[in-house]
Structure 1
Amino acid sequence: MPDCSAKYPAIKALMRPDPHIKWTVLGLVLVQLLACWLVQGLSWRWLLFWAYAFGGCINHSLTLAIHDISHNTAFGTNFASRNRWFAIFANLPIGVPYATSFKKYHVDHHRYLGGDGLDVDIPTNFEGWFFCTPARKLLWLALQPFFYSLRPLYVNPKAVTRMEILNTLVQLAVDLTIFALWGIKPVVYLLAGSFLGLGLHPISGHFVAEHYMFMKGHETYSYYGPLNWITFNVGYHMEHHDFPSIPGCYLPLVRKIAPEYYDHLPQHHSWVKVLWDFVFEDSMGPYARVKRTCKLAEDRL
């Protein structure tokens, strides 16, 4: 936690639940259920178009709601179980069980940022070696959902938890119910929206913008553009890592309260430009990350 929390006590008052996230997530889930009903009669071409242009935005937004909820921002730290179940609810339109596993690994991302073998946000050596040309980097961006879901199994495998099993059972039950009610097209719409929206998509620029080293010596970057409106302010990433218990809705206030700690730092102005630069600049690629050796927390006790 930076010194600004001592200088500005008002920042600590922001460490409270987001009063709106429950209703926002409910609205997004209901919108996707309505879309499932609407796409039944679409041709496959138009279904895939709307999965990318609309469903991909909604589902990506829901993954970032899950990110926020993983920090107990929906119901507070005293109601961890409610937050876990609400994250599973937010997971439903994504089509594949994700929320509980994300929580399990995201803790390590904050505790061991860049930690070799601990932070599964760091690409593997194979990714850095193979995806090194513009065409390959473009493919790597398109396949981000696969790398983010499979990398933990290779880099830092952990035992399956009871909540992960429940997450899977609930997700399968909902997927099968949608299929039974409306057929295969709504299921494809949801899955395609998740794959396309988390792949080569403007919102996916945040994956690269957050921690890839565009400037030497700077590991984490913020983005203050309009896409924060639909991504739970994930662009305020320096602020988020400084104060992970502050919900996304309050992160702009952190910068407003303590501008001298953030305004001078390197920042991104466009996630689309981030993707463009990542693909076409020779200095950028999966290797452009800070990797460090970290000891497990237990070893430091």
Structure 2
Amino acid sequence: MGNSAGRSDFEWVYSDQPHTQRRKEMLAKYPVIKSLMRPDPYLKWTVLGMVLVQLLVCWLVQGLSWRWLLFWSYAFGGCINHSLTLAIHDISHNTAFGTNFPSRNRWFAIFANLPIGVPYATSFKKYHVDHHRYLGGDGLDVDIPTDFEGWFFCTPARKLLWLTLQPLFYTLRPLYVNPKAVTRMEMLNTLVQLAVNMAIFSLWGIKPIVYLLGSTFLGLGLHPISGHFVAEHYMFLKGHETYSYYGPLNWITFNVGYHMEHHDFPSIPGCYLPLSVCCPSLGLNLISGE
């Protein structure tokens, strides 16, 4: 986002989506890349463990003071819930059970959604397809800030507020930019989430619900892990609209930092994306094209 008002805050390009051409060229040169387009054998077990951990914490926080409840929501729950949203991102590409079992992937995403507290996994899948198909497309890609966001959040203080409120913008932006009809699967996602929330409330009271919702809001807002929201597609170099990060946060974010590689090959699960950067066993280096 720039400091001037209006649509000049955005870089406007009229060429085709760059990753489509890159994908064609790299697959033609290195067809062995297709061997990485297979399910992640560990994803379902990792997600199961994280969901069970959050349910255990729901039981543990019953007697916590509100101050410590918010602290652990940020310091621990925020990391788990943010990581779960990135697991849902991976699952949306059918990486848990493979492309032959789309229904299993959809239901598993709903299961991963349970500690988030708010039903969103199915809606995310619906809009994320457009993010890949129309990357940066005006009125199509809801990951890109609106004109209002670019105009209003133009000072350091306002940008800090924008980072804090990112969960709200990611939730509300699709309804404004590119609203779509509610699907049957979205309604099922909502019913399952509400049923689990009610069960947790009945068993352990209001504090576990506040912990889960606080983990989501705080973990997706002004949180170290949330830096990837800005790092992935906000233009830092003219002519480049997708960026990668290869640091240690990838260890707990399903390698979402390998974002250039992910857009080149969305069918490759996060666990295999490092192989697509430089893999001697495959004999290729996709970054340099060698």
TM-score (norm 1): 0.86
What residue identity is the alignment partner of 1:246?
I
Structure 2 equivalent of residue 234 of structure 1: 256
Maintained 8 Å contact 2:278/2:286: no
1:69 to 91, 94, 110: 91
Q: How far off is 1:50 after superposition?
A: 0.3
Whole-Å Cα distance in 2 between the matches of residues 67 and 138 of structure 1?
A: 25
Once the two structures are TM-superposed, the CA of residue 216 in structure 1 deviates from its matched residue by 1.4
Q: What's the offset of the Cα at 1:84?
A: 0.2
- CA–CA distance in structure 2, aligned partners of residues 252 and 167 of structure 1: 32
- Structure 2 residue 35 is matched with structure 1 residue 13: yes
The aligned residue for residue 204 of structure 1 is 226
SS in 1 for 2:127: helix
- Cα RMSD of the aligned pairs, angstroms, is 1.1
Q: Give the distance between the partners of 1:21 and 1:241, measured in 2 at CA.
A: 19
1:154 maps onto 2:176 in alignment: yes
Distance, in Å, in 1 between the alignment partners of 2:287 and 2:65 is 48
Alignment coverage as a number of residue pairs:
264
Distance 1:156 1:111 in 2: 14
Instruction: Determine the C-alpha separation between the residues in 2 that align with 1:62 and 1:145.
Output: 14
Q: Identity of counterpart residues, as a percentage?
A: 86
In the alignment, the residues of structure 2 paired with residue 250 and residue 259 of structure 1 have an alpha-carbon distance, to the nearest angstrom, of 14
Structure 1: segments with no counterpart, 5+ residues: 265-301
Q: Distance in 2 between matches of 1:29 and 1:253?
A: 28
CA–CA distance in structure 1, aligned partners of residues 60 and 25 of structure 2? 51
The residue type equivalent to 2:163 in the other structure is: L
What does residue 252 of structure 1 align with?
274
- TM-score, length basis structure 2: 0.89
Q: Among residues 185, 189, 195, which one is paired with 1:163 in the alignment? A: 185
Amino acid at match of 1:256: C
Which of 106, 120, 123 lines up with 1:98 in the alignment? Answer: 120
Contact 2:95 2:269 in 1 (8 A): yes
Distance in 1, matches of 2:92 and 2:86, equals 10
* 2:67 counterpart of 1:42: no
Provide Cα deviations, 1:121-152, integer angstroms capped at 9, x if missing partner: 11111111100000000000000000000000
Which structure 2 residues correspond to residues 222-301 of structure 1 after superposition, within 5 A?
Answer: 222-257=244-279, 260-262=285-287
Q: 1:53 aligns with which of 75, 84, 104?
A: 75
Is 251-260 or 218-227 further displaced after alignment? Answer: 251-260
Shift of 1:263: 5.6
Shift of the alpha carbon at 1:190?
A: 0.2
Whole-Å separation in 2 of the counterparts to 1:161 and 1:65:
22
Distance between the aligned counterparts of 1:20 and 1:3, measured in 2?
30
Aligned with 1:147: secondary structure? helix
* Counterpart residue identity of residue 277, structure 2: R
- Note the residue ranges of structure 2 that are not aligned, 5 or more in a row: 1-22
Structure 1 residue 3 corresponds to structure 2 residue 25: yes
Task: Read off the aligned partner of 1:244 and give its amino acid letter.
Answer: P
Tell me which stretches of 4 or more aligned residues in structure 1 moved more than 3 Å: 258-261
Distance 1:55 1:214 in 2: 31
Residues 7-28 of structure 1 show CA distances to partners (whole Å, capped at 9, x for unaligned) of: 2232110001111000000000
